[in-house]
Amino acid sequence: MQQTILIIEDDADIAESLQYNLKREGFRPVIAESGEKGLRLALDEKATPSLVILDLMLPGMSGMELCRRLRRETLTENTPIIMLTAKAAEGDKILGLETGADDYIVKPFSIKEVIARVRAVLRRAEKETAPKYEDGRLGVDFADMRVICDGNGVKLTRKEFALLEHLIKNAGRVASRQQLLDNVWGYSYFGDTRTLDVHIRRLRQKLDECGSCIETVVGVGYRFIGCK
């Protein structure tokens, strides 16, 4: 079955080039020239895209605003998003990734690179939706909420399990404190981020020898690196 790629780009030449090349690679590309149209197509329950390629400089609704909206919608909260933009500053990239993008490509770009990034993000998304995680030491069954470290069962609270699940499903990527609070406690949470740090500390303690799988990224948040 063809995977639908939604291209939200107001530059006709870029959009058509992406459409042509993605189609050649076996995808089903669909173009939206504005953020509003892109939102409608992304939320179409009959044809939900497998991945969104999103330009940041759009007429009307900006790419950042659209990305935030897609992450708030149940239908698209886990849909992979690749941002496409002329903004190359490190701060812009960090903002894009923290807003919810899975990858960030700066214009001008190579079509071959875009295709490679699309395939890589889709592969990663498929792994993230897997019902279980296993790396030889740490085992997690997401459906049954079971955790095993070195053959021993680990009892976690719902919040601790939700934190571990989010980190595992975003393995290798830094999850900011705000992202974790939004995803585990909900968008209405306005409390102290120390609550998160306390839960992470308890989670590591309960995981015992597997606690090192969660890496602290100073000043930003946490990252799941697996058990070595």
Residue appearing with tokens 């740490």: 138
- Residue 87 is encoded by which pair of tokens? 């903004």
Q: Where are the beta strands (DSSP E) in the chain?
A: 4-8, 28-32, 51-55, 81-85, 103-106, 132-134, 138-141, 146-149, 152-154, 175-176, 214-217, 221-224
DSSP run (H or E) holding 5: strand 4-8
User: How confident is the model over 167-195, as a mean pLDDT?
Assistant: 76
Output 65 or 1, whichever has higher pLDDT: 65
CB 160 within 8 A of CB 200: no
pLDDT at position 12: 94
Residues of the chain with CATH 1.10.10.10: 132-224
**Which residues 6+ apart lie within 8 Å of 16 measured at CB?**
31
- Residue 126 is encoded by which pair of tokens? 């498929």
Fold of 4-128: Rossmann fold (3.40.50)
Q: What pLDDT, in 10s, does the model give residues 138-159?
A: 999 987 889 999 999 999 998 8
Residues of the chain with CATH 3.40.50.2300: 4-128
Rounded-to-integer distance, Cα 90 and Cα 105, Å: 12
pLDDT at position 140: 92
Q: Does the model's pTM come out above 0.85?
A: no
User: How confident is the model over 112-124, as a mean pLDDT?
Assistant: 88
Whether the pLDDT of residue 189 is over 60: the answer is no
| Distances in whole angstroms, Cα of residue 135 to Cα of each of 105, 131, 167, 220 | 30, 14, 14, 26
Q: Where are the beta strands (DSSP E) in 25-183?
A: 28-32, 51-55, 81-85, 103-106, 132-134, 138-141, 146-149, 152-154, 175-176
pLDDT at position 188: 47
pLDDT above 90 coverage of the chain, percent: 46
Domain 132-224, CATH: 1.10.10.10
Q: What pLDDT, in 10s, does the model give residues 13-40?
A: 999 999 999 999 999 999 999 999 999 9
User: How confident is the model over 93-97, as a mean pLDDT?
Assistant: 74
Concatenate the DSSP letters of all residues of 47-71 into one string. S--SEEEEESS-SSS-HHHHHHHHH
- What is the rounded average pLDDT for all residues in the chain? 87
Whether the pLDDT of residue 125 is over 60: the answer is yes
**Which residues 6+ apart lie within 8 Å of 44 measured at CB?**
none
Q: What pLDDT, in 10s, does the model give residues 203-218?
A: 999 999 999 999 999 8
pLDDT at position 190: 55
Closest by CA to 15, choosing from 64, 84, 80, 79, is: 84
User: How confident is the model over 102-116, as a mean pLDDT?
Assistant: 88
Whether the pLDDT of residue 102 is over 90: the answer is no
